[in-house]
Structure formats: C-alpha cells, structure tokens
Chains A and B, each alone.
Chain A
C-alpha cells in the first residue's frame, strides 16, 4: 500500500494496471465520496467501482475527515455544500493534517462562483468540476485522476 504522500503526484501508478488483472494481490484502492446527497454519491460510487476502485462514503465534513483518517485513499471526491462542516472547511482540515495534506482531492459541486473557486484552488485540489455532469464526463475525469488506463466493466 502506498503512503498518502505518494498519492498527490503519482497518478499513474502501476497498481492501477495490476488491479485489472484477475488475481487480487493488491489491496483495494479506496476513493472517498463525500457529499450529503445520496443520489449523487450513488452515481459516483458506481463509477468508482467500474474503475476497479473501492468507494467509501461520507455524508458530512466530519464523517469525511474520519473516513480519510481510517483509509489509505487514492482520491477524495468532495462536495462543497455539506452540513456540519462544509467542503471548504473539510479541505482546510485535510491540508492541515500532516498525513492527509497531500491526498488528491477532486471537488465536485454546483457552486460556480469565482470567489468559491478561488478559495478552493488555494488548497491544491486536482480538479474542480461543476455539476451537473453526464456520467461519461464524470467517469472520464475520475479515470484520469485515478490513473486507470483500461476502464473496467460497463
């Protein structure tokens, strides 16, 4: 298993190719899907599975931080508008946590104001996607960030 520190820059890991092989010697690559709307999480989780990764979910910021601390994550897909602790606060705490400071974060939100985008980009996110996105568009972005070369399943 790679350390969280490797994840930030190393998007095209050899593990990705190995995970598509039949034998399961490599541990699952976890992707945290954080957002308060179950329908949205469900769509993302489905795509994550299709890409050969294992989704873990969180419906608010505190839950997202707890999940991030208990899994070795390949990627976090983060919604900004969440109860308790919103996405931006969650992002701030992630970056302030030594172990999580470099984990890849993809922001997926319906917030498109310049102000929000600028404050988020200050926390080194690997992508900022504005919803709604068609499944194929979302899948393509996730595939790229997970470094999966051969999409699995349908």
Chain B
C-alpha cells in the first residue's frame, strides 16, 4: 500500500475539464471521482478511505458518494482507522491490534488531550484541575453557540465564539480554538454562512477532548491524568 497526498492524486487524476460542481467539491472527492472514472474504463478498484479534519455534517456522505470505500474523521481514532482498513482489505488483514482496539490505555500522539498536556508543559495536575472546570462549563458554552447559530444572531455568536476561543486556547486545543476564532470573525462581519458547519467542527474537537478525559479518568491502571496528585 502506498501513501500519496491528496494534492498529488488530484493533480495526477485531474479531469481535463472539470465541471463547476466538481471544482467546488473538495480535492479529496474530485481525486476519488477521477480515479473511479478511470477505473470504469481500465477496470480494477483501488480502495480509498477518506480522512478529513473538517468533520462537517455530510462529509461522510460526500466522500462515499464520490466513490470512497470508507471514511475516518480526523484526529484519527486508531480503532476506527483499523476498522476501515480491515473492511477494505478483507478478512486477510487479521485482527485489530490490541493497541488500536483499546486506545484508552494511552494518550494518543497529537490527540486533543496530548495537545493540552503539551501546552500545559506536562503538568497533569494542572490539566486535571482545568479540565474539571471545563467539563462543568462546556455544555453552557456550546449551548450559547448553538443558540446564536439557530437564532441567526451575529453579536451573540461573536460573544460566544470569543469566550470559548479564550478557554480552548488556555487548554492548548488549537484546532478547536481556531474554529471558534473563525466563528467569531464571521459573526463580527455580520455573517452566518458556514456558522453551523464551523460549530459542528468545534463541537467535534471539544467532544473528542471530553471523551478522552473520561477514558483517562476511568482508567486507574493506565497513565492516569493525575498520578499521585489526586486527593
């Protein structure tokens, strides 16, 4: 199996005269569509799994509609990726490795929790303290965002985006903070286009962080968040 960048694939398989609709789609989807179009002429089937960091509603459907065999949102959950790979590779790929099947035992590199820990300079006790407050306040922040989006209320959205951006930044959750920043910028300009998708992306990032926090909390045998510092 080889690794290629989407850009390389998109360039290699670029259709000679892309339709406006195709151009509007993501490079990932147009590359997939182009590969499938060639395969219809030449035969064969290269398995394609879509990876996307946007995690917007409908991404999965768009990827599958473009001809992909599977879809895994980023940041990658190892178990989900192995599952997707096993499906496209058939049963010959064997069992999912234990490490991937049980990702709760480690802090995945590059995961939101890992990012937070790095940003807080490895201070697990501090992360545990801040995370507890974040877990308490987060539903309120997200509700304010959703309400502002649903009510098409740019000033409220700007304010909600600003507050959560500051909090996410303090926790070192850069990607989610960036999504909040985009929401805020959008709202400051008085616009709401794309706000729902950005909110979904932000919620996804936050959701992953919260899930990771829970798995670590409930795993006394693993690398607990607060070894020795828990009362």
Which residues of chain A have a CB within 8 Å of any CB of chain B?
35-40, 42-43, 46, 79, 81, 110, 131-132, 134-136
Of the listed stretches B34-42, B126-134, B218-226, chain A binds B126-134
A39's partner among B123, B159, B171 (CB-CB below 8 A) is B171
Chain B interfacial residues counted at CB < 8 A? 22
- Among A40, A81, A132: residue with most chain B CB under 10 A: A132
> B116-148: contact bitstring with A at CB < 8 Å (1 yes, 0 no)?
000111010010011001101100000000000
A43's partner among B130, B159, B162, B165 (CB-CB below 8 A) is B130
Instruction: Give the dominant DSSP class at B's interface.
Output: helix
B121's partner among A36, A46, A136 (CB-CB below 8 A) is A136
A46 adjacent to B126 (CB under 8 Å): yes
Write the chain A residue with the least CB distance to B173.
A132
B166 adjacent to A42 (CB under 8 Å): no
Which 5 A-B pairs have CB atoms at the shortest separation, nearest pair first?
A132-B169, A39-B167, A37-B167, A39-B133, A40-B170
* A137 CB, min distance to chain B CBs, angstroms: 10
Question: Which residues of chain B have C-beta atoms less than 8 A from A42's C-beta?
Answer: 129-130, 133
* A74 CB, min distance to chain B CBs, angstroms: 23
Which residues of chain B have a CB within 8 Å of any CB of chain A?
119-121, 123, 126, 129-130, 133-134, 136-137, 159, 162-163, 165-167, 169-172, 177
A39 adjacent to B170 (CB under 8 Å): yes
Write the chain A residue with the least CB distance to B164.
A37
Beyond known contacts A81-B162, A110-B166: 5 more, CB 8 A cutoff: A40-B166, A110-B165, A134-B120, A135-B121, A135-B123
What are 25 A-to-B residue pairs whose CB atoms are below 8 Å? Answer: A35-B166, A37-B137, A37-B163, A38-B133, A39-B130, A39-B167, A39-B170, A40-B166, A42-B129, A42-B130, A42-B133, A43-B170, A79-B166, A81-B159, A81-B162, A81-B163, A81-B166, A110-B166, A110-B169, A131-B169, A132-B119, A132-B166, A132-B172, A134-B120, A135-B120
